[in-house]
Structure 1
């Protein structure tokens, strides 16, 4: 086998810098997806037809089109339509955040509907307003049920972050490609990048299990 990992050793610090670049936009995207996804989920269960239709249409569009297409539309279409020269970083945040919100909204909606209807009826009987009821009673219970699905969505988002390399963002994948072009050997740097992604996913999975265990112990 024609493998020589010694050639990528001088480039390892350069590639490892891509971890911070990756996590920086992934964390922000997760936050956007969680907040916007929660709002969309509440719109989906509301009795207002227009809000429900709007949330369903949003989810249909972002779940029905490829993430890479959404990323490239944002990166290339915004400058063309508005004249604003959007950065690769901001494009990544918008594309991943808006896309994640569509999936998170379905997860949260399912979690809310899974909560015993009696909880809502009891809160309404006691005169608890809708907002405090959702924030203090329904959502905390729903979170315990949907945490594994949410963690899976965040893990998927972390793995799919490699897509941003197509618009030139210097994430882990893009840096591995640059190293491959520099040393004329692509397998070694890509394999190293794959190992780093695996470690990141393993850490996220372990954290998810710890949080899930503590939530169960708090019951």
Structure 2
């Protein structure tokens, strides 16, 4: 195949790429900031002796973990505004869909970390007069965090990957910005190559950092 590569036309519109990268970063950070506390609450509910709280958390986690992220994004963008009679832009719909699904995954990460702590730690906290909330905050969670960090950051990487699906509803992320550049330059190969490499570099660096963290935690254990 005789194809002449020309990246200059793509980089001449670097402002659009930067705008898209900011959009991706904004979406990922917002979804992450919301999904973590929701996931922690769900994990605590899932481990609660109350059948009611456990049932609600289990139903939530099973539903969102079994749902396709792209379908959720479309549903919150097209269906949710009609059912709730609210205005829902692309950013809000994508954030809501990614947040709710990521919270379900984070809940299982947190639950696994908390469950890995020996029962004796709970009993020791109770013996010195701590209630459930205090034991969770001061004794259990500090130990559980160390064990759950590697898989936690793996889920963060997955969340970043999922943000690319927001381009399907015309949210101004990196992938959508690439489609804008393609419509201007008619250079899809170069444009999507740049975007693919951008995602690869970010995710590869984060993956290496997670592996390094795993080794350090293994040594400290």
Map 1:105-116 → 2, pairs under 5 A: 105-116=107-118
- 1:35 is displaced (CA, Å) by 0.4
Instruction: Say which SS state the counterpart of residue 85 (structure 1) adopts.
Output: coil
Cα pair 1:38 1:105 within 8 Å, conserved: yes
Distance 1:42 1:82 in 2: 29
CA shift digits 1:107-165 (9 cap, x unpaired)? 11111110111101111121111111111111111111111101000001111210000
Which of 78, 93, 96 in structure 1 is aligned with 2:95? 93
Instruction: Say which SS state the counterpart of residue 13 (structure 2) adopts.
Output: helix
Instruction: Say which SS state the counterpart of residue 65 (structure 1) adopts.
Output: coil
Map 1:146-165 → 2, pairs under 5 A: 146-165=148-167
Which of 18, 21, 29 in structure 2 is aligned with 1:19? 21
CA shift digits 1:13-35 (9 cap, x unpaired)? 21122111111111111111110
Distance 2:119 2:178 in 1: 51
| Residues 1:104 and 2:106 are matched in the alignment | yes
- 1:199 is displaced (CA, Å) by 2.1
TM-score in terms of structure 1 length = 0.93
**C-alpha RMSD of the superposition:** 1.9
TM-score in terms of structure 2 length = 0.92
Q: What's the counterpart of residue 127 of structure 1?
A: 129
Q: Which runs of 5+ in 1 are unaligned?
A: none
Cα pair 2:65 2:101 within 8 Å, conserved: yes
Q: What's the counterpart of residue 169 of structure 2?
A: 167
| Residues 1:59 and 2:82 are matched in the alignment | no
- 1:83 is displaced (CA, Å) by 2.5
CA shift digits 1:147-190 (9 cap, x unpaired)? 11010000011112100000000100001111112222211111
Q: What's the counterpart of residue 43 of structure 1?
A: 45
- 1:210 is displaced (CA, Å) by 6.6
Cα pair 1:42 1:109 within 8 Å, conserved: yes
Cα pair 1:63 1:99 within 8 Å, conserved: yes
Which of 175, 180, 183 in structure 2 is aligned with 1:181? 183
Cα pair 2:150 2:213 within 8 Å, conserved: no
Runs of 4+ in 1 over 2 A off after TM superposition: 202-219
Q: Which runs of 5+ in 2 are unaligned?
A: none
Q: Kindly tell me the number of residue pairs found equivalent between the two proteins.
A: 219
Which has the larger displacement, 195-204 or 88-97?
Answer: 195-204
